[in-house]
Amino acid sequence: MTPRTMALAAILHHDCTEFTWERTSAQIADDLVSRYPACREWGVTARHVARTAREKGWSNRLRGAGTPVMQGTPKAYSMDQELAQLDGGRGFDLTPEPAALNF
């Protein structure tokens, strides 16, 4: 990773943590260029954002261009929904009691 790519990764992580990861690479690139002078000077595009996210292992956090909003990234949320469906509305609490965790 070049120093510029590392700097872009830091800016990308900050911006997505501050605002949201639920955006496409193109949307993030537009936001970075409008918010950060360095990104504007470097001419950051969606391709740069996608490549940096892929190198850092963040691709699964970003929404794909063909993915509807709130359908691609928050895996914890979708997992909670799947567990609730498995529960069948019976109200089971699958979290262990704190005393059960002591060995």
Q: Is the pTM of this model over 0.95?
A: no
* Average of per-residue pLDDT values in the chain: 79
- Compute the distance between CA of residue 4 and CA of residue 42 in angstroms, rounded to an integer: 9
pLDDT at 73: 46
Higher pLDDT, residue 75 or 81: 81
pLDDT at 41: 93
Question: In the structure encoding, which two tokens stand for residue 82, read together?
Answer: 């799947």
Question: In the structure encoding, which two tokens stand for residue 46, read together?
Answer: 């969606």
pLDDT tens-digit map of 51-70 = 999 999 888 888 876 556 55
